[in-house]
Amino acid sequence: MSDILDLGGRVALVTGAGQGVGRQIALHLGGAAGSGGVVVNDYVLDRAEAVAEEVRAAGGKAVAAQCDVSDHAAVKAMVAKASAELGSIGVLVNNAGNAGANPSAELRKPFWETGPEVWDSYVGVNLYGVMNCTAAVIPGMLERQAPGRIVTIISDASRWGDAGLEIYAGAKAGAAGFMRSVARSLGRYQITANSVAIALTETPAVQQTLQGDPDRLKRTLEKYIIRRPGRPDDIANMVLFLASDASSWITGQVYPVNGGFSFAL
């Protein structure tokens, strides 16, 4: 029996892939059946190169690509260079998130006490970054005249709402709406666009926050049906499915991978 999660020779670009969830997505896609290789993006080159080497050590093809996804010109240059090295991008995973490469020191203030110069830390990477990368890969996907996949990692903050994260939640919700419209525009070309909404996940940043505070972790997990934090594998498994041939009739959807923190409607 053939592997239903075959990538059909598609080259994948994973943004923010130098650590955490993005790293595991890159490893999944780089080692998947039918993978054409993976472009490992991060704004820290050393991190991107380390993950690319992991992919290569496991037998896959990978190149590292340094770029801040909120920079439109830099994204276009990255996609052109990566496509020249591995071939046109057939899978885009918009994973880069949090507060981006240059977070404002005032992000922890109530948003109504700040302004766009602070909000841009979240909006730049979580919304404009998704738009920049998606716009950069679509022409190549169309030229390939072959199925393509676009997957954007959003947050349950955009579905549930989190006090103190209004701008972040709004940017993630905007990215999900953007994906739905992209799905309608590109479906006729066999290019799908979906989102994966995640909740508490064991990334380096989360581990640092919760380390040494088991009571805080216990209180947080009381809101979850499956009472453990998510693991990068949990998210990467869903992304691999959405990037594969198995998901060819799925588009415009948001898939929560969240331990039951919230339910899809």
Give the residue numbers marked as catalytic: 168
* 3-class state of residue 137 by DSSP: helix
Separation between Cα atoms, residue 145 and residue 20, nearest integer Å: 33
Among the listed residues 153, 168, 191, 64, the one whose alpha carbon sits nearest the alpha carbon of residue 111? 168
Transcribe 1-32 into DSSP letters.
Answer: ---TT--TT-EEEETT-SSHHHHHHHHHHHTS
The secondary structure of residue 190, as a DSSP letter, is: T
Q: Is 264 exposed, middle or buried (0-12, 13-18, 19+ CB in 10 A)?
A: exposed
Separation between Cα atoms, residue 221 and residue 83, nearest integer Å: 42
Q: Match 């598609």 to its residue by tokens.
A: 10
Sign of CA dihedral 161, 165, 169, 170: positive
Tell me the β-bridge partners of 201: 230
3-state SS track over 70-125? CCHHHHHHHHHHHHHHHCCEEEEEECCCCCCCCCCCCCCCCHHHCCHHHHHHHHHH
